[in-house]
Structure 1
Amino acid sequence: MSPSRIERASRLAKTSAAFVKNAVQRRVNKENYILSDKTENEVILRDGIMSVKYYKPLDTETVTLEGGQTLHVRRRRFAIPLVMVPPLGVFAWIFDLLADRSMIRYFLAHGFEVYLIDWGKPGPEDAGLSLETYTVDWFPKALQAIRQHSGSEEVSLMGYCMGGLLSLLYLGVSKDEKVANLITIASPIDTYKANAFAGPLGRALAWPASLVKNKTGFQLDKLSEQAFHVPGKTLSILFKMTNPLGVAASYVELIRNMADDDYVARYMTMNEWFTNMPDYPGATVQEMTRKMGIYNRFAKGKIRIGDSHVADLSAVKCNLLAFAGDNDKIVSIAGARAIMTVVSSTDKAFHIVPGGHAGVFTGSRAVHTTWNISKDWLQLRSRPIPRPEGQGETGSAGQVA
């Protein structure tokens, strides 16, 4: 056999061995491939399954973004901390995915003090968690801990999907004037316009539901919370059904690249988001179905929370930046844009950026669109911490995003 054939055979053998190894190990030792939730942090509050994390300033000089671009770490910090608010039905670590696609690392690199509200992992025993739990109980406790820890009364909120809605509900109930800035990403304000399925269904049910209520007094909240509790596995299937061709195509690519350790790790990390989802608490689903799905209360600007609270969205006056994805099958542009009419903010902006429901938040282009726009917008609305006299700023030159 010629040397060239021997070399090709050797490469093929190594590739085949790597293919088999990754094919087996990704099933047997999946945790070794998951690269999320790696940024150093400390928990500053726990209350039940909810916790609040503080992310320490990066101890590196640079951060590498997807595509190989380098971002120099800004040493001068901003005085107003950034609080990231995840949706329900996913794990909070989606804000801290792969090192080059970690939103938390990106904003740390740009000089922000970053905190994360983690809603935890609800199970069947948590079916009673309601909108009141999240917005009237846990949200104030989280912000109190963050304010005490940071020393700043002012905060900025960044909410993805339902995280944006929870932020709005908190603000509408509390009238918290110390929330300086709010960013919402793909948050469904007008559910009648949110997507081709939920909108028409909600409209169709609104009149019959009102008729039944007026005639009999029956409402969905009379039913058991357990009847509305959605297991994580069901959520995963529903999410994947919004783009079945994309799911199939990504799996084909995985097979083609099974011998590439880095590719498999990246695939497994991203796939964990869509495959391993926590339960969606029944009480919250029950409320959302009635108040958002059927009666479209967010678009109308007022939502009753529990027995004694009303979230008045016209009371929201903080600076607002809102995003929608141009290919989002879950939250349409019109569904997200409605936020511009329900709040009273005078400083507000709306951007349409490339991507589907996940892509607009942390897709391969999000760093140059959603993240970059948010960073520029926040920097103009977040006071820098005064620099000691004679001290220069390290790592401010050469930033690329």
Structure 2
Amino acid sequence: MNNPEFDSQKEIERWKGFFSIWTDPEPAVGPTPRTAVWKKNKAALWYYPSSNKKYKVPLFLVYSLVNKAYVLDMAPGASMIEAFVENGFDVYLLEFGSPAFEDQDITIDDYIIDYIQRAVRKALAHSGAEEITVIGYCVGGTLAAIYASIAQEPIRNLIICVAPIDFSDSPKFDQWVEYIRENDIDIENLMRLNGAIPPKLMKIGLRAASSPIYFSHYLSLLNKAYDKEYVASWRRFNKWTNDHVGFSEAAMLQLGNDIVKENKFMKNTLTIRGKKASPSNICANLLVVAGKHDRLVPDVLSKGLADVVSSKDKTYCPVTGGHTTMAVKGKGLPKFLADWLPERSN
């Protein structure tokens, strides 16, 4: 008996779209025009000029050490950077690159002083601006917050997105963090892997943190594989989730010991090259954004930052969505930024 609801042509297109992820060339990413204005080692500072500049204060984006930054510029209509420039902001993006064996001694101190601080100074000089807005994503948000606590540069606004900062009360990580603390686990011996944590190992670790939901995205693809635009978007995002970068051994050890195990930043005991890195040193206008359903970095890991800074203008903003909520957007700024950023940028 025939099923009147069965559409044979649609089913053919569905399966063609599903299998195309293994047969068609990978879709392009990073469409927004940019120019490198500064480089150091494997890092680059990219400049995205706005053709419709409205705001004097440029944006300086610090992305994670774990993933590649093109998630912020996936495709036309699905790019946070495109949304910024089309809404009148000049944008600078610091991309760290992927460390190799020769980079094994790069520490968190190095990333903050030699990379972030120097790049901010370059962005200020290049733009001619008197102040700057720093936006940090994920571990880049952790570094951005620490940098802001020791910065001599004029940071007007600090935006921290889905960043792991406060490990004093972390339901997602409490079991393994407490195990490390109580059993005095030597993180250094666990991390001795040829100078840099290889991308494949980073991928395995993040997959473990996000299980058991990882394979559900294939079911989502199959459900809408007849839609070419959806398939292209899915493939771009899937490319990014598989495209991890390595991690410097020294930076991983320091991050594990000082930030996760000892929670030094939030306890006001962290020093960066002799400078006390305390959240109370932060005076910039502060916006802390967290994903209500973020499995990788639960909101509790960042919401406490707003309570301990010295900023008079500070906002904690939980938003619906997961870890990439702030990365892939259309041409309009998401509401939490549209309501907060423009009035603080002139």
With the shorter chain as reference, the TM-score category is: 0.7 to 0.9
**CA apart distance, 1:338:** 1.1
Residue in structure 2 matched with residue 72 of structure 1 by the alignment:
none
Matched, 1:374 2:344: no
Which of the residues 44, 48, 54 maps onto 1:51? Answer: 44
- CA pair 112-363 structure 1, distance change in 2 beyond 3 A: closer
Deviations along 1:137-170, one digit per CA (max 9) or x if unpaired, are 1112211211111001310011111111111221
Matched, 1:267 2:234: yes
Residue in structure 2 matched with residue 82 of structure 1 by the alignment:
59
Which of the residues 174, 178, 181 maps onto 1:206? Answer: 181
Helix, strand or coil for the counterpart of 1:115? strand
Is contact 1:199–1:293 with CA below 8 Å preserved after alignment? no
Residue in structure 2 matched with residue 179 of structure 1 by the alignment:
155
Looking at structure 1, the residues matched to 226 and 62 of structure 2 have their Cα atoms a distance apart, in angstroms, of 36
Looking at structure 2, the residues matched to 138 and 225 of structure 1 have their Cα atoms a distance apart, in angstroms, of 24
Looking at structure 2, the residues matched to 156 and 285 of structure 1 have their Cα atoms a distance apart, in angstroms, of 27
- CA pair 278-305 structure 1, distance change in 2 beyond 3 A: same
Residue in structure 2 matched with residue 349 of structure 1 by the alignment:
315
Name which one, 1 or 2, has greater alpha-carbon Rg: 1
Q: Kindly provide the amino acid, as one letter, of the partner of residue 120 in structure 1.
A: G
Helix, strand or coil for the counterpart of 2:287? strand
Helix, strand or coil for the counterpart of 1:346? coil
Looking at structure 1, the residues matched to 137 and 246 of structure 2 have their Cα atoms a distance apart, in angstroms, of 18
Where in structure 2 are the equivalents of 1:283-322 lying within 5 Å?
A: 283-306=250-273, 308-322=274-288
User: Which range is displaced more, 233-242 or 309-318?
Assistant: 233-242
Q: Kindly provide the amino acid, as one letter, of the partner of residue 236 in structure 1.
A: K
Q: Kindly provide the amino acid, as one letter, of the partner of residue 194 in structure 1.
A: S
Matched, 1:332 2:298: yes
- CA pair 381-313 structure 1, distance change in 2 beyond 3 A: same
Looking at structure 2, the residues matched to 223 and 245 of structure 1 have their Cα atoms a distance apart, in angstroms, of 25
Residue in structure 2 matched with residue 42 of structure 1 by the alignment:
35
Helix, strand or coil for the counterpart of 1:202? helix
**CA apart distance, 1:202:** 2.2
Q: Kindly provide the amino acid, as one letter, of the partner of residue 235 in structure 1.
A: M
Residue in structure 2 matched with residue 137 of structure 1 by the alignment:
114
Residue in structure 1 matched with residue 245 of structure 2 by the alignment:
278
| Greater helix content | 1
User: Which range is displaced more, 252-261 or 90-99?
Assistant: 252-261
Query: Normalising to structure 2: TM-score of the pair?
Result: 0.88
**CA apart distance, 1:242:** 3.5
Matched, 1:27 2:22: yes
Helix, strand or coil for the counterpart of 1:165? helix
Helix, strand or coil for the counterpart of 2:169? coil
**CA apart distance, 1:91:** 0.6
Residue in structure 2 matched with residue 251 of structure 1 by the alignment:
218
Deviations along 1:29-88, one digit per CA (max 9) or x if unpaired, are 543x24x21100111011111111111225xxxxxxxxxxxxxxxx35100001111011
Question: Where does the alignment leave 5 or more consecutive residues of structure 1 unmatched?
Answer: 1-7, 59-74, 213-218, 384-401
Q: Kindly provide the amino acid, as one letter, of the partner of residue 22 in structure 2.
A: R
Is contact 1:319–1:347 with CA below 8 Å preserved after alignment? yes
Q: Kindly provide the amino acid, as one letter, of the partner of residue 285 in structure 1.
A: M
Question: Where does the alignment leave 5 or more consecutive residues of structure 2 unmatched?
Answer: 1-6
Residue in structure 2 matched with residue 362 of structure 1 by the alignment:
327
Deviations along 1:229-272, one digit per CA (max 9) or x if unpaired, are 42222222332334445332220232344444322211110111
Deviations along 1:195-250, one digit per CA (max 9) or x if unpaired, are 43x223323433553xx9xxxxxx75588753684222222233233444533222
Helix, strand or coil for the counterpart of 1:246? coil
Query: Normalising to structure 1: TM-score of the pair?
Result: 0.76
**CA apart distance, 1:114:** 1.0
Looking at structure 2, the residues matched to 94 and 223 of structure 1 have their Cα atoms a distance apart, in angstroms, of 30
Q: Kindly provide the amino acid, as one letter, of the partner of residue 182 in structure 1.
A: L
Looking at structure 1, the residues matched to 191 and 231 of structure 2 have their Cα atoms a distance apart, in angstroms, of 42
Q: Kindly provide the amino acid, as one letter, of the partner of residue 298 in structure 1.
A: F
Which of the residues 176, 190, 205 maps onto 1:238? Answer: 205
Q: Kindly provide the amino acid, as one letter, of the partner of residue 269 in structure 1.
A: R
Helix, strand or coil for the counterpart of 1:43? strand
Q: Kindly provide the amino acid, as one letter, of the partner of residue 278 in structure 2.
A: D
Q: Kindly provide the amino acid, as one letter, of the partner of residue 38 in structure 2.
A: L
Q: Kindly provide the amino acid, as one letter, of the partner of residue 157 in structure 2.
A: N
Matched, 1:150 2:115: no
- CA pair 327-253 structure 1, distance change in 2 beyond 3 A: closer
Residue in structure 2 matched with residue 107 of structure 1 by the alignment:
84
- CA pair 207-236 structure 1, distance change in 2 beyond 3 A: closer
Is contact 2:60–2:133 with CA below 8 Å preserved after alignment? yes
- CA pair 255-93 structure 1, distance change in 2 beyond 3 A: same
- CA pair 205-245 structure 1, distance change in 2 beyond 3 A: closer
Q: Percent identity?
A: 25
